[in-house]
Structures are given as C-alpha cells and as structure tokens.
Amino acid sequence: MTNKLILGTVQLGLDYGISNQLGKPTLEKAFEILHTAYDHGIRILDTAEGYGNSQEVIGRFHKENPQKKFEVITKLDAKHKLKKNSILNQILKNCEILGVYELHGYMFHNYQSFKENTHFYNEILSAKANGIIKKAGISLYTNNEIDDIVSNYYDFDFIQIPFNLFDNQAKRKVFLEKAKEKGIEIHTRSVFLQGLFFKNITEVPEKLAPLIPYLNTL
C-alpha cells in the first residue's frame, strides 16, 4: 500500500498542525523527513505555492539528492491574480523551483478560487495535453463542491478531500462513488485529523473538547 501514500509537506514551509509544538522544522530536519519517506517507498509529495517556502525546501533537497527525485503535486495559490494564458508559465516556474521537469499534478487550491478563475480550467488541461503535468486536480471540502465538480468538470483527473474515521460515510459515500464512476481519483487528506487521533486525551485543545468521547471510543 506504500505506493498509495503521498507525503503532505505544508509543515516544511509553515508552522502548521494542532499537534505541532515545535513549529516549522529546520532544513536539516526537513531533509531527514524527506530521506525517511523516500527510503520507505513514498515517491509523491503534496505541496502548494501557498505553503511558505515548502517548494524551495523540496527543490533544494532534489538539487542536493538527485538520486532521490520525488514526483510532486502542487497547487495554484488562491491569492494569485494571474492573467489569462499565464498558467503554463506558472507551472514551469513551479517546476524550476521544485527541481523537476514535470508535475505529477497541478491543482486549484480550493473550490472558491476555481469558480473565480474557471478560465484556467482549460489552460491546465492544455498543460496536461502538452505533457507538462500528468494530472489536473482540485482541493475540495463539502459534498456540494464535490457534486458540482464531478457533475460538471469531470476532466479533472483527481479531487482531494478531507476524509477520516469521524467523517459521515453515509453522506459522503454517494459522491465518492459518482467520482469513481467518472474515473476521477480520490485523494484524501486529514486522515488523522492533523494527528489528533494520536494525542493523549489530556492534551486535546479546549476548543476540540466535544470530540473527546469519540476519541476515547477510537
């Protein structure tokens, strides 16, 4: 199953995560994480233009360890105000920073930014047709977002959604089956709720206290 694991790298570029008490790791620690992932069979990284300097860290790792090249999925920064017909140059810029020749995937960072920039949809698909990216994707949150994309924009190769044991499968299942029928891959994130599943109950933040009974059961 290792080939189905993708390492998320937001914490390499930002102070991130409810279980993170040490902040952003040093470059040395970041490299240690990437070495460990590669040595145990993980070959794909997930990052984003908006994840601080995560892309630069990955690029430096590739430069210093050319024998350990990851495939990379990255996301268009939702805050970018790009002109039409500029996506190809943006993707090539990402490739240069990341130290790769092509992207495993390029995504819209969220549903809202996609709906505000739907003209980039065909540009990303064109980049795929030209072999600059392997797959086009989008990061989503709600069932309504999933339904709209799967029903109306099914040229996406994959969707990325939060999914874990606390999600309501009965409500999510029908949309995931619909995506699968369309041949759309499903990438899941927050599978451990940013590490909450492994925290000692006494360490659970007060704002998440309502989850304690469910954590005890888990």
What is the structure's pLDDT at 126?
95
What is the structure's pLDDT at 78?
84
Q: What is the pLDDT of residues 130-173, one digit of tens each?
A: 999 999 999 999 999 999 999 999 899 999 998 888 876 667 88
What is the structure's pLDDT at 31?
97
| Residues contacting residue 50 through CB under 8 Å, at least 6 positions apart | 75, 77, 78, 79, 109
- The domains of the chain, with CATH numbers, are 2-217 (3.20.20.100)
What is the structure's pLDDT at 47?
97
HSE of 156 in the Cβ direction (CA atoms, 13 Å)? 30
Residue 42's CB: how many other CB atoms inside 10 A?
Answer: 17
Q: Smallest Cα–Cα separation from 61: which of 15, 98, 11?
A: 98
Going from the C-alpha of 54 to that of each of 13, 106, 115, the distances in angstroms are: 4, 15, 26
Q: Smallest Cα–Cα separation from 11: which of 141, 195, 206, 164?
A: 195
pLDDT of the chain, 218 residues: tens digit per residue: 888 999 999 999 876 555 556 668 899 999 999 999 999 999 999 999 999 999 999 999 999 999 999 999 999 998 877 888 889 999 999 999 999 999 999 999 999 999 999 999 999 999 999 999 999 999 999 999 999 999 999 899 999 998 888 876 667 888 899 999 999 999 999 888 878 898 888 888 888 899 999 999 98
Distance CA 125, CA 133 (A): 9
